[in-house]
Amino acid sequence: MSANTLANTLAAPAAAADALRPLRILLKETQYELAGRMRTRAYSLSVIGLPVMFYLLFGVANRGKPGALYLVAGYACWGVVSACLFGIGLTLALERAQGWLDLKRASPMPRLAYLGAKVASCAAFGLIITVVLVLLGSSLGGVAITARQAAELAGIAIAGSIPFAAMGFFVAYLVPPSSGPGIINLIYLPLSFASGFWMPVSMLPHWLQMVAPALPTYHLAQIALAAFGMAPAAGMALHWAVLAGFTVLMLAAAWITFLRSEANS
């Protein structure tokens, strides 16, 4: 015991000097996670490219009309959700199945740095998509977006990536990696459609309009649309509360599936 105390005493100055190390690791991890995703064309082209392409088709077709503004907010939400579900749900599932995660876990890498880097990268992609859409909207879309509205939407994209990153963690431990893309499409395409990412919920079939408020994606869309004055500003607290609750639920579900997979590994 006394020997251990001696070891601790000797190690103490080094520990104090390295108090910032976890933060440095998080930054480095995020830097390379982002670089890796950018270079993975299947990811970056689809996650950024799809909303951009759709905006060029449907946003520009509604040039100068409310629809062009609506789709900036709607497609930004779509981008955030797909960046999270593919960026975490798929990559984490693969890294886990292929043994890469084990190698990282065997190193002294702080787990929170690994998870934090994944969330931060999703937020960064959400931000990029939002900025591109705002630029497209105010140029080719012919709609006026104030700097304040743009900043607000960017903030929503960043904050909104947290609940869906949490969902990504759950999905990563739920889906078999080989069928990952298919299952994730099955989850997020209906969610996007039913939540008003692509068209106002009021244009959807009546039964879907009833279902929509039960979806977390609907609440994200309402918050984003409210930034452009296209949704009632009154219910914001409820929308945020639903997203917060959804985050907790997803993290808990991810934690339970994680523990279950640990027990079998």
Interaction between residue 257 and another protein (CB under 8 A): no
Is 112 a binding residue for another protein by CB under 8 A? The answer is no
Question: Taking CB under 8 A as the rule, does residue 255 contact another protein?
Answer: no
Candidate list 50, 52, 60, 109; residue touching another protein; CB under 8 A: 109
Only segment of 25-33, 168-176, 185-193, 212-220 that touches another protein (CB under 8 A): 25-33
Applying CB under 8 A, does 237 fall inside the site for another protein?
A: no
For residues 139 and 56, what is the distance between their CA atoms, to the nearest angstrom?
Answer: 11
Positive or negative torsion for Cα 80, 85, 90, 95: positive
**Residue 93 interacts with another protein (CB under 8 A)?**
no
The verdict on 260 binding another protein (CB under 8 A) reads no
Spatial separation of the C-alpha atoms in residues 26 and 15, rounded to whole Å: 17
Smallest separation, CB 85 to another protein (Å): 19
Length of the chain equals 265
CA–CA gap between residue 55 and residue 72 (Å, rounded): 8
Instruction: Give yes or no for a contact between 173 and 261, defined as CB atoms under 8 angstroms apart.
Output: yes
Judged by CB under 8 A, the chain residues 34 through 63 that form the site for another protein are 35-36, 39-40
Q: Report angle CA 70, 71, 77 to the nearest 5 degrees.
A: 105
| Integer Cα distance of 113 and 201 in angstroms | 38
CB of 15 to another protein, least distance (A): 9
Rg of the Cα atoms in the chain: 21
16 contacts another protein (rule: CB under 8 A): no
Judged by beta carbon, residue 168 or residue 216, the one nearer another protein is 168
Among 57, 64, 102, 186, binds another protein (CB under 8 A): 102
Select from 20, 107, 147, 176 the one that contacts another protein (CB under 8 A).
Answer: 107
User: Which position among 71, 95, 164, 169 is part of the footprint of another protein (CB under 8 A)?
Assistant: 95
Please give the Cα distance from 2 to 10 (Å, whole number).
12
